[in-house]
Chains A and B, each alone.
Chain A
């Protein structure tokens, strides 16, 4: 029989044993937020120092206590996954964030990866074959390519700068198939840029292409058949004394299956025609073939855009003091002298003050200039300079497309001309060709266009004010509200039913002001959320 008094020492020893458990813990690092992103109703903050993400609910019931999700080791960058609604308005936004992580270079088990975050979990993690430091998404958010940046020098003894990993984000990770590890052939230079085509129907199959731009070379990958080799097209001689091209811009003609390429150092435009292969005998080879054409621009080419219907396809090129109109079928070039030199262009459909019919027109401009030129593209090859109109404005540093040009539907064609320093901005109505000047006391650099509310939000860093400009052509009305703390960052949540904006403030524990976008000056509806970087 065990008596109680005998149990006393046993109880004591057990208690001491239990108490002896535990010990020192690994030390948490101060948060290092490398990215602040907006999902539909959550703000996402990526903490590089502690391999985690804070997700702050800014929806119907805002809660300052954020949800913490662990991330793969050493996150390098994060991007919101692009939405397929850009190409298909009926598509569903996956509402995800992509996080590229470098992993542990000394561990074979903790390698580099791309994690896909939803607002409540890490949905998928795609392991990568190399410690890439940059990613590029296709415009519809289906594909993402991980690659080495131009200035990258990873902490590796050996690495292949032409190596890439291509991920189909609509499919789960699968070893060897998703992602696909590809080394893009070049001719000595590392890849400069990677671009994606819109869906193109080639040989009866709708597919997307990825174009890898080198200085003198372009590589074409069929994203539907990543098991097939890429085409590598040399546009210029690789000799040291050969003229440079330095590829910069690509346009896709999905009707003609043509690709237009422009280089900063070349006076020519390169046209790649994709045609069906006559007979495909080997499934491992491509079922189409590219052919190369060259259009002589005759001058330094700065920008280009496609316009016109299928049968009347034209290429408009800004070439300094001239605009070039190139017939895509006949390659006939029409030179249109411009009243002011232009280096950029924006093609739009709209009216003009003289003609109240909707037609294709273009705004040509040069950042740093005090002129803009309107070009009516209808019958341009006949009327030439008579279709050009010059408009004098205040010197501007940047042009931000707004309204329809940005994707809005029920709005006018507007652009914002940002003037230098504290000179404010001007709203340029492309249909009326009028300018409304907005004065400001702050530098408006970083104005954030909002296509859903047809506004431009302005939240200058280190200032304690948030404002917006309503883009109603009849009433360009600025509105602003004073905040309790200076601004760090601005995130918009105006896509859903709860239209809100979140302004973050400098604070190591996390501080942000959440405001109703449609009742900005109603102080009672605004709240300050504090401590969300302290975790759950």
Chain B
């Protein structure tokens, strides 16, 4: 556990250093004014700030779910919410994005189900007067109800190639459920230290984010209690993998996720007996390996003023699941010794199961 803790802290420190340098290279994002939520709003509503006159007041549609509502006294006839939004986007440029809780993505202009379509003739219509406060729209309950199946189906993928990069440093413990692993380790668990990087590639309207990942991990163990007649019992492995991670925000700082990983495990085993020079055996194996897991990850909140998802964020994650991989045949093989005349048949030590439950602890940096 001490080794694990040191590795975790090292990973975090490395992430911080790496991400700090990345952040200084970015232009400073404008500071977002904090939105105030009217107590009367129901369900949860986010409020677009009321701009000072005489600029046209703009309401930015909130991401799916929370909807904006402005306590506006009147709406000018002939001005649709959509046209006002378009006008606002061409305005003074001071309209900040509404903060998007628990999302790495900047708010996006999703057409809201049930909202009226904008007509080109109305878009080109000039604004009427100022100062006025215009309520862009008030979403119908049907449009915001998440349990509405029809509306869910109509939600499209909202973002492609617009995500953030996450770098993971993790410790992956895979449980070996048979006794063969006792040849290399006193415990049942083989620990791997790894690094991986993921990119938020797709975001669904439901709030799920899909991230492909690439990574590598390394394992090593030596000197288990089995077969003490061997003076050297060492297993090392390198795991090259890709993975797809589906993430869902539970709260702004906590996310649950599911993860499917596949890759190549390159395993080397070295065995030696102390009695003779000829008793040196080695095994070299490459095999596919899959992991399916789920877990939780917590991260630091987004920086104030930075676009959501674009600031440096540090986090910790824990994951559990099951690893599926073909068993490693512990067939002893060695080079012929000098002067050897007879055919040598070496014993089969059986198989080392590489499938079993796993747990992964990690730290990550998002930037």
Contacts and interface: CB of A to CB of B under 8 A. Distances in A.
Contact of B257 (A8, A64, A510): A8
**Which of A19, A26, A27, A523 has the most C-beta atoms of chain B within 10 angstroms of its own C-beta?**
A19
Contacts of A526: 342-343
A535 B227 contact: yes
Contact of A27 (B225, B250, B344): B225
Contact of B339 (A5, A484, A523, A528): A484
Contacts of A18: 175, 320, 357
B188 A22 contact: yes
A533 interface: yes
**Which of B227, B250, B322, B339 has the most C-beta atoms of chain A within 10 angstroms of its own C-beta?**
B227
**Which of A18, A24, A532 has the most C-beta atoms of chain B within 10 angstroms of its own C-beta?**
A18
A409 interface: no
Interface stretch (B3-11, B56-64, B345-353): B345-353
Contacts of B101: none
A11 B188 contact: no
Contact of B230 (A62, A509, A511, A523): A509
A19 B228 contact: no
A16 B343 contact: no
Contact of A14 (B173, B279, B320): B320
Interface in B40-83: none
A171 B230 CA distance: 41
A65 interface: yes
Contacts of B296: 8-9, 12
A523 B318 CA distance: 59
A509 to B, nearest CB: 5
Interface string B210-242: 000000000000000111111000000000000
Contacts of B2: none
Nearest to B339: A484
Interface in A478-536: 482-485, 506-511, 513, 523-524, 526-536
Contact of B173 (A19, A26, A530): A19
Given A510-B347, A526-B342, A11 B273 contact: no
B337 interface: yes
B228 A30 contact: yes
A23 interface: yes
A508 B230 contact: yes
Given A16-B320, A533-B229, A523 B279 contact: no
Contacts of B346: 64, 530-531
Interface in A305-326: none
A28 interface: yes
A65 B258 CA distance: 43
B293 interface: yes
A508 B279 contact: yes
B24 interface: no
Interface in B301-335: 318-322, 332
Nearest to B179: A25
Contacts of A534: 227, 229-230, 332, 347, 349
A367 to B, nearest CB: 37
Contacts of A90: none
A528 B350 contact: no
B229 A30 contact: yes
**Which of B177, B320, B359 has the most C-beta atoms of chain A within 10 angstroms of its own C-beta?**
B320
A484 B347 contact: no
A21 B256 CA distance: 24
Interface in B240-256: 248, 250, 256
B343 A509 contact: no
Contacts of A195: none
Nearest to B248: A5
Contacts of B293: 15
B165 interface: no
A426 interface: no
Contact of A25 (B225, B256, B273, B322): B225
Nearest to B350: A536
B347 A26 contact: no
Nearest to A6: B256
A526 B345 CA distance: 11
Nearest to A486: B276
Contact of B295 (A8, A22, A506): A8
A15 B356 CA distance: 10
B189 interface: yes
B201 interface: no
A66 interface: yes
B228 A29 contact: yes
A21 B225 contact: no
A350 B186 CA distance: 67
A319 to B, nearest CB: 52
Contact of A531 (B179, B258, B320, B349): B349
A136 interface: no
A13 B349 CA distance: 34
Given A12-B319, A536-B350, A530 B275 contact: no
Given A8-B296, A15-B320, A31 B345 contact: no
Contacts of B344: 527-528, 530
11 contacts: A8-B296, A11-B294, A11-B321, A15-B294, A18-B175, A19-B359, A507-B273, A509-B279, A510-B347, A524-B343, A528-B345
Interface of A: 5, 7-9, 11-16, 18-19, 21-31, 62-66, 482-485, 506-511, 513, 523-524, 526-536
Interface of B: 173, 175, 177, 179, 182, 186-189, 225-230, 248, 250, 256-258, 273-276, 278-279, 281, 293-296, 318-322, 332, 337, 339-350, 357-359
Given A11-B321, A25-B225, A508-B229, 12 more contacts: A8-B296, A9-B296, A15-B358, A18-B357, A27-B225, A28-B226, A31-B229, A482-B341, A507-B273, A509-B275, A528-B343, A534-B349
